[in-house]
């Protein structure tokens, strides 16, 4: 083995960096940074990471809300997973969730884009009135939105009056469609604002050039607008999915998951198992399924929204 010696006359910058390991031309770690970060990251650790880990364990136990198993409970291995696999209500709930999220994504993206592009060409007063109505419906808290949609679509409600079908209970007859529409109604404003901002960034020269080239409206949309709007649209799709997955308040007010399990999306079913049927552990396991779904969407969201990409 030879020990390399460094000749002070021939040493270069990179050699020095190698030699000293730490670079002096960059800011170094300061201990006060730790003090600044601790409160926020401590909270996130205690009330986000710890519960997430705890829920993994909890999902595999026999903990109940009341009764003997609420005091003396323990690990039951695969029992809950087997139960989940055989639970037809769970699979129904999963499909209902998929329908609710899928319908919401289509509605929010189409209505948001359509409104944003129409409003660009509209007169100012029209922009204020229609844009205002849509934004107000988005700002409305989920419980209020749920309440007014319940009143409007139940028997004797506004929808029945305006369509002439007085006796029809729209909410009872088409529950999943109605709650999905309510969800789209309460999220379109967000998508409209975001898409409007993105549309204003589409260079008008590109559109004018396409018009000179005799491109049809569809070609202009397909070849110019859509590629430029793609990152925005993907972000809207992912946020709609994540927010819909968690929109407990809206459906809980409107139907509480019913009739039957027609609108029983996963957060409602998880709540129902934990607090109505007292199966706290099983409810936590269903919650874990939601975490897995949300994580998948969340990872895509990070890839789209991170500044680097």
Partner 1 sequence: MSAPVLPPAAPVEREMPPENTSTQRTRWRSAGTHLTLTAFGILFLVPMLWLLLASVDANASWGLEWPHLSLVNFRNVLTGSLFHALWNSVVLSVVSTAIASITGVFAAYALSRRRIPFKTSLLMFILFSSGVPLAIMVIPVYEMFSRYNLLTIVPTAIFLSVTSLPFEVYLMKNFIDAVPGDLEEAARIEGASTFQVLRQVIVPNAMPGIAAASIFGFVNSWGSLVVPLILISPTDQQPAPIEIYTFLTLPKPEYGNIAAYSLVFCVPVFLLYAVSSRLFREGFVLGGGVKG
Task: Identify residues 186-245 at the interface with partner 1 (CB under 8 A).
Answer: 187-190, 193-194, 197, 214, 238-239, 242-243, 245
**Total binding residues toward partner 1, as defined by CB under 8 A:** 100
> Distance between CA atoms of 214 and 208, rounded to whole angstroms?
10
> From residue 6 to residue 35, what is the string marking binding to partner 1 with x (rule CB under 8 A)?
--------------------xxxxx-xx--
> From residue 85 to residue 114, what is the string marking binding to partner 1 with x (rule CB under 8 A)?
--------------------------x--x
Near partner 1 by CB under 8 A: residue from 17, 44, 78, 209: 44
SS (H, E, C) 29-98: CCHHHHHHHHHHHHHHHHHHHHHHHHHHHHCCECCCCCCHHHCCCCECCCHHHHHHHHCHHHHHHHHHHH
Place of tokens 């999915």: 241
Shortest CB 304 distance to partner 1, Å: 10
Q: How many residues does the chain have?
A: 309
> Distance between CA atoms of 265 and 182, rounded to whole angstroms?
15
Exposure class string for 93-123: b at 16+ Cβ within 10 A, else e:
bbebbebbbebbbebbbebbbebbbebeeee
Query: Hey, which residues between 276 and 295 contact partner 1 (CB under 8 A)?
Result: 280, 283-284, 287, 290-291, 294-295
Q: Name the segment binding partner 1 (CB under 8 A); options: 13-21, 77-85, 92-100, 144-152.
A: 144-152
Report whether 244 contacts 183 (CB < 8 A).
yes
Near partner 1 by CB under 8 A: residue from 101, 119, 210, 237: 119
* Interaction between residue 154 and partner 1 (CB under 8 A): yes
Near partner 1 by CB under 8 A: residue from 41, 91, 95, 277: 41
Q: Name the segment binding partner 1 (CB under 8 A); options: 74-82, 121-129, 203-211, 219-227.
A: 121-129
Shortest CB 169 distance to partner 1, Å: 10
Residue 54: how many other CB atoms lie within 10 Å: 11
Near partner 1 by CB under 8 A: residue from 48, 91, 95, 277: 48
* Interaction between residue 173 and partner 1 (CB under 8 A): no
Tokens of 122: 């509209």
* Interaction between residue 72 and partner 1 (CB under 8 A): no
């Amino acid at each position: 083995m030879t020990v390399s010696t460094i000749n002070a006359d021939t040493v270069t910058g990179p050699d020095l960096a190698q030699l000293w390991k730490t670079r002096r031309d960059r800011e170094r770690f300061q201990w006060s940074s730790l003090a600044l970060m601790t409160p926020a990251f401590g909270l996130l650790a205690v009330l986000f990471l710890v519960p997430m880990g705890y829920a993994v364990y909890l999902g595999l136990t026999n903990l109940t809300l009341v009764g003997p198993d609420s005091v003396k409970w323990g690990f039951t291995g695969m029992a809950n997973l087997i139960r989940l696999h055989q639970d037809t209500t769970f699979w129904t709930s999963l499909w209902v969730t998929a329908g609710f999220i899928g319908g919401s994504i289509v509605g929010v993206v189409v209505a948001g884009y359509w409104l944003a592009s129409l409003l660009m060409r509209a007169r100012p007063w029209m922009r204020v009135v229609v844009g205002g109505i849509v934004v107000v419906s988005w700002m409305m808290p989920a419980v209020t939105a749920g309440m007014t949609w319940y009143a409007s679509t139940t028997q004797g409600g506004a929808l029945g009056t305006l369509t002439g079908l007085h006796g029809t209970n729209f909410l009872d007859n088409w529950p999943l469609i109605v709650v999905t529409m309510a969800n789209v109604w309460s999220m379109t404003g967000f998508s409209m604002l975001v898409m409007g901002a993105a549309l204003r960034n589409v260079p008008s020269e590109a559109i004018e050039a396409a018009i000179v080239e005799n491109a049809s409206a569809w070609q202009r949309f397909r070849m110019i607008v859509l590629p430029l709007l793609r990152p925005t649209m993907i972000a809207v799709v992912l946020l709609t999915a994540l927010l819909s997955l968690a929109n407990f308040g809206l459906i809980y007010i409107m139907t509480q998951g019913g009739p039957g399990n027609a609108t029983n999306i996963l957060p409602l079913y998880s709540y129902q198992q934990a607090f109505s049927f007292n199966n706290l552990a099983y409810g936590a396991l269903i919650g874990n399924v939601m975490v897995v779904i949300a994580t998948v969407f969340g990872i895509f969201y990070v890839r789209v929204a991170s500044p680097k990409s």
